[in-house]
Amino acid sequence: MALAIMDHAASTGVLREVYDRMRERPLPPAYRPKHGGVPGIICAHSLDPQLIPKVFGTSTTLNGAGPLRWHEREQVNATTSRLNQCLY
């Protein structure tokens, strides 16, 4: 890791509250990490807990509804990730 990441187990205070709220959101099985905790891409934002609901709230408006269908949204997301050489 280049910058600190705090996962759910290590979180306290505002970050813990944000993580708990994020865990209550519905998530497609494909995105649910096997470790059962908070997805890594959310934990990647742990240095600014209050940014998390803002970023992932925006995500819900884009990834949670059409008009593009789920596989079409995934195509845009996966293409973008590959071009940015990102694993996510």
Partner 1 sequence: MAALAEIATIVTHAPWTLSAAHRARYRDAGLGDDDLLQAVALAAYFGHLNRIADAVGVPLDYDVAVMPPHADPTTPPLAAAPTTITGTPAIELASRAATAAALPRWVDHVMEREASIPREVRRAIAGRVARLLGDGDGAASDAPLEPAIATLVDDVTLAPWRLGDASFATLRSAGADDATLFDLCAIATTAGVVSRLRVALVALGR
**Positions in the binding site for partner 1 (CB under 8 A):** 1-5, 30-35, 39-41, 43-45, 47-48, 50-51, 54-55, 57-63, 65-68, 72-73, 75-77, 79-88
We find the least distance from the C-beta atom of residue 18 to partner 1, in angstroms, to be 13
- Minimum CB distance to partner 1, residue 10 (Å): 14
Q: Write down the least CB distance from residue 20 to partner 1, Å.
A: 18
Would you tell me the crossing angle of helices 70-83 and 51-63 to the nearest 10 degrees? 130
Tell me if 27 sits within 8 A of 39, measured CB to CB.
Answer: yes
User: Torsion angle of alpha carbons 50, 56, 60, 62, nearest 10°?
Assistant: 120
